[in-house]
Amino acid sequence: WPVFAPYIHAINRLKKERGAVILAHNYQTPEIFHCVSDIVGDSLQLAREAGTVDAEIIVQCGVHFMAETSKLLNPDKTVLIPDLKAGCSLSESITGADVRRLKAANPGVPVVTYVNTSADVKAETDICCTSSNALAIVESLEEDTVLCIPDEYLAMNIARQTSKKILTWKGHCEVHERFTADELLAYKQTDPNIQIIGHPECHPDVIAVCDFSGSTSGMINYVKEERPQKVLLVTECSMASNVEAETPGVEFVKPCNLCPHMKRITLPKILDSLVFMKDEVTIDPLIADRARLAVERMVNLGK
C-alpha cells in the first residue's frame, strides 16, 4: 500500500509524540485497522477498553456514538474523532424526548438502550447494551417486560431467545437492513458448504438462514476458530477484508454493504486529527452524568 505508507508512518510517529491511543472499530478499513490502531474491537470491547486506557488522548476511529461512549467513560481525557459527521442511522432514529415519551407510555418498564445512540438518549436509559451482550442484559432485569430500543431488528432477534415481552422502536441500521434472506439462500443453493454468519442488526428472517449470529467480534472469532472453507459475512464490507488478512485459507464471499459513516474516517483525517487536535468530543455535563451511569451499568454487568 505505497499510497498509505507516508500517512501510516506520520500517524504512528505523532501518536507516540502526543501520547495518544487509537481505538478502532472492526468496520474500519484495513489500513486503519491493521496499521495505525492500538486497540480494535466491537462496540463492547471498545467501551471496556476506553475505560482502562492510560493515554491522555484517545483518537476514536469509528462513529460518533463510539467516541461519545469513550468520552463518557473518560471525562477528563481528550477524545478526538477524525470526522464529527460520522453518524449512525440507528443513533439518528431516536431522541431523548422520544425516550421520555416511551417511558411515560410504559410506566415501570425498564429501558435497555443500544449503545448506538446519542448521550442524550443514554441519559434517559436504565442500562445500555451492545450486540454482544443484549440478551444477557435483558435477562439480567427482574421485570417481565423490557423496552429494547432503538433497533427493531436487534429487539426482534432478542425476543426470539427470551421469554420476556420485548417492546421496541422503529430504528434500523441502514447497512444491515439491506440484506435479504432470499439473497443469502441463493448463495446457499449455489454452494451448500458456504457458512453464512450475520450481525443481529439484520432482520430476523435473515438471521434465520445464518449458521451463526453475533457481534462483529463474535463473527470474527467464529471465523478464526471454525476456519470454514468458504464464508459469507452478512455485515459491513471492511470486516471481511480485515479478517481475511488474518485467516489464510478461508475464502470470503463478499456481497457486503458499506457503512458511509464508518467510511468517513480515513488516514489523512486521522493525521489531521493528531496534528490539529480535532475534533474534540464534548458532552453537556448534566447529560453526561446520567448517560455514564447507563454505560457503566452495562460494562460492570460482565465483570
31 binds ligand 13P (CB under 6 A): no
Name the strand (E) or helix (H) holding 58.
Answer: strand 57-61
Q: How far is CA 240 from the centre of its chain?
A: 16
CB of 104 to ligand SF4, least distance (A): 27
CB of 236 to ligand 13P, least distance (A): 6
CB 141 within 8 A of CB 125: no
Q: Which residue has the cell 460520522?
A: 86
**Gyration radius of the chain's alpha carbons:** 19
Query: CA–CA distance from 68 to each of 65, 132, 137, 252 (Å)?
Result: 5, 19, 21, 33
In DSSP terms, 127 is beta-bridged to 112
CB 273 within 8 A of CB 59: yes
CB of 229 to ligand SF4, least distance (A): 27
Q: 10 Å Cβ neighbour count for 247?
A: 17
Cell matching residue 2: 505505497
237 binds ligand SF4 (CB under 6 A): no
Verify cis geometry, omega within 30 degrees of 0, for the bond prior to 279.
yes
Site residues (CB under 6 A) for ligand SF4, limited to 58-77 = 63
- Is 35 labeled as ligand-binding? no
Cell matching residue 35: 496499521
Q: 94 is in the binding site of which of ligand 13P, ligand SF4, none (Cβ under 5 to 8 A by kind)?
A: none
- Is 200 labeled as ligand-binding? yes
CB of 87 to ligand SF4, least distance (A): 8
Site residues (CB under 6 A) for ligand SF4, limited to 158-177 = 173-175
What is the Cα–Cα distance from 117 to 132, expressed in whole angstroms? 16
Q: 196 is in the binding site of which of ligand 13P, ligand SF4, none (Cβ under 5 to 8 A by kind)?
A: none
Q: 294 is in the binding site of which of ligand 13P, ligand SF4, none (Cβ under 5 to 8 A by kind)?
A: none
92 binds ligand SF4 (CB under 6 A): no
Judged by CB under 6 A, the stretch of 5-13, 53-61, 254-262, 277-285 that binds ligand SF4 is: 254-262
88 binds ligand SF4 (CB under 6 A): yes
Instruction: Please pick, from the candidates 29, 113, 195, 216, the single residue that binds ligand 13P as defined by CB under 6 A.
Output: 216
Verify cis geometry, omega within 30 degrees of 0, for the bond prior to 75.
no
In DSSP terms, 111 is beta-bridged to 147
Size of residue set near ligand SF4 by CB under 6 A: 13
The residues that touch ligand SF4, with contacts defined as CB under 6 A, are 63, 88-90, 116, 173-175, 201, 236, 259, 261-262
Where is the binding site for iminosuccinate, in residues?
25, 43, 114-116, 131, 199-201, 216
The residues that touch ligand 13P, with contacts defined as CB under 6 A, are 26, 42-44, 116, 130-131, 173, 199, 201, 215-216
